[in-house]
């Protein structure tokens, strides 16, 4: 199933305008001699392998005035060092009001599409309902002008400052065992039930033993070489060194808590247990860390931490965990 996110270029509130270099004066007397410039806050992408930063985005721009028209129609803007560039240049119109909406990545990922309606000035982003992230998939981020820009600020020279926000929520699921347990535990599968979809609920199963046959309905899959152990993945007591499933999920609100069934072996003997996650909704831009602790028999104790994503750019001089560096 798919979810649609509508970004309205008209009707959102308060844009920060910043600088731009002077250019040759266009022929239209209403057009200022300042080109419209773009700047974007570097947003760490939700990749497992690398702490990448935003390198390009696409922008729609609309001006409303005596002659209303699209100024940017899916215009690619790229980073050149510390400068954001696009061509051909567009200029501020003193008789018009401007609105902007931007998104990245500029090329739609598998299971994702971007469409724009010129008549209603609406950008529609269609996302997969549930997505497994394994180092090959990319988060989707969006920015709007949040309202009307009527002029440039001379102090900063006319640049539009776009601050991007995540469309997805993060779900991190870790399976751990008690520190004093002597048995050898191996994870075989994770099964999620009561996952909301566009027309009801669905069940998703992640098989940790036969990656080629992992049965995810409507899921974008990439390489799953990490799950190549036919006997299952060893479950440890340290949450940072135990099987972990990482997902980007379209935000949703459901009527029932998501359940997670854990299939595992204890000293080679098959077992399973089901935990109530306490999750009925996932909000965009938040990170949900669910730890499932194996107990005696089929007892599984869940704990849930909810926090904001930590945005860490390359070269930032702060103390961060490895997961946080990758926005996880």
> How large is the C-alpha radius of gyration of the chain?
23
Interval 214-228 mean pLDDT: 37
The percent of residues in the chain predicted with pLDDT above 90, rounded, is 18
Name the architecture of domain 2-166.
Answer: Sandwich (2.60)
- In the predicted structure, residue 101 carries a pLDDT above the cut 80: yes
pLDDT at 140: 84
The per-residue b/e assignment along 164-189, b for 16 or more CB within 10 angstroms, e otherwise, is bebbbbbbbbbbbbeeeeeeebbbbb
**More confident call, 137 vs 160:** 160
- In the predicted structure, residue 259 carries a pLDDT above the cut 80: yes
- In the predicted structure, residue 103 carries a pLDDT above the cut 50: yes
Q: How far is CA 227 from CA 125, 137, 210, 250, in A?
A: 31, 17, 7, 24
pLDDT at 25: 52
Burial (CB < 10 A; 0-12, 13-18, 19+), residue 241, is: exposed
pLDDT tens digit sequence for 106-119: 887 767 888 888 88
Name the architecture of domain 169-325.
Answer: Sandwich (2.60)
Sequence-distant (≥ 6) Cβ neighbours of residue 88 within 8 angstroms: none
**Residue from 225, 228, 233, 227 nearest 187 by CA:** 233
**More confident call, 33 vs 240:** 240
pLDDT at 77: 94
Range with the poorest average pLDDT among 146-155, 194-203, 273-282: 146-155
Does 169-325 match 2-166 at the fold level? yes
**More confident call, 146 vs 56:** 56
Sequence-distant (≥ 6) Cβ neighbours of residue 149 within 8 angstroms: 15, 17, 97, 98, 99, 100, 160
**Residue from 31, 35, 51 nearest 43 by CA:** 51
pLDDT at 224: 35
Interval 246-260 mean pLDDT: 86
- In the predicted structure, residue 67 carries a pLDDT above the cut 60: yes
Where are the chain's structural domains?
2-166, 169-325
**More confident call, 119 vs 223:** 119
Q: What is the DSSP letter of 296?
A: S
pLDDT tens digit sequence for 143-167: 887 666 665 554 456 788 887 888 8
Q: How would residue 244 be classed by pLDDT, with cut points 50, 70 and 90?
A: confident
Q: How would residue 213 be classed by pLDDT, with cut points 50, 70 and 90?
A: very low
- In the predicted structure, residue 279 carries a pLDDT above the cut 90: yes
């Amino acid at each position: 199933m798919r979810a649609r996110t509508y970004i309205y270029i008209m009707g959102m509130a308060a844009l920060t305008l910043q600088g731009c270099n002077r250019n040759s004066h266009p022929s239209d007397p209403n057009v200022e001699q300042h080109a419209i410039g773009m700047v974007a806050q570097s947003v760490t992408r939700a990749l497992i392998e690398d702490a990448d930063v935003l390198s390009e985005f696409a922008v729609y721009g609309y001006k409303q005035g005596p002659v209303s028209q699209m100024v940017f129609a899916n215009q690619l803007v790229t980073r050149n060092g510390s400068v954001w560039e696009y061509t051909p240049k567009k200029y501020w119109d003193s008789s018009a009001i401007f609105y902007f909406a931007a998104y990245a990545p500029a090329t739609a990922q598998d299971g994702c599409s971007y469409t724009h309606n010129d008549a209603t000035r609406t950008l529609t982003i269609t996302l997969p309902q549930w997505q497994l992230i394994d180092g090959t998939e990319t988060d989707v981020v969006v920015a709007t002008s949040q309202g009307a820009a009527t002029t440039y600020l001379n102090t900063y020279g006319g640049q539009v400052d776009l601050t991007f926000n995540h469309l997805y929520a993060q779900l991190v699921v870790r399976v751990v065992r008690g520190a004093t347990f002597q048995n050898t535990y191996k994870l075989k599968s994770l099964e999620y039930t009561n996952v909301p979809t566009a027309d009801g609920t669905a069940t998703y199963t992640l098989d940790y033993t036969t990656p080629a046959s992992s049965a995810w309905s409507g899921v974008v899959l990439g390489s799953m070489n990490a799950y190549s152990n036919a006997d299952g993945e060893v479950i440890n007591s340290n949450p940072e060194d135990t099987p972990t499933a990482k997902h980007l999920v379209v935000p949703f609100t459901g009527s029932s808590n998501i359940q997670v069934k854990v299939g595992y072996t204890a000293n080679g003997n098959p077992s399973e247990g089901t935990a109530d996650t306490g999750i009925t909704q996932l909000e965009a831009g938040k990170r949900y860390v669910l730890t499932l602790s194996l107990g005696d028999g089929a007892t599984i104790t869940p704990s849930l931490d909810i926090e904001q994503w930590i945005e860490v750019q390359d070269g930032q001089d702060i103390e961060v965990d490895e997961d946080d560096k990758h926005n996880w």
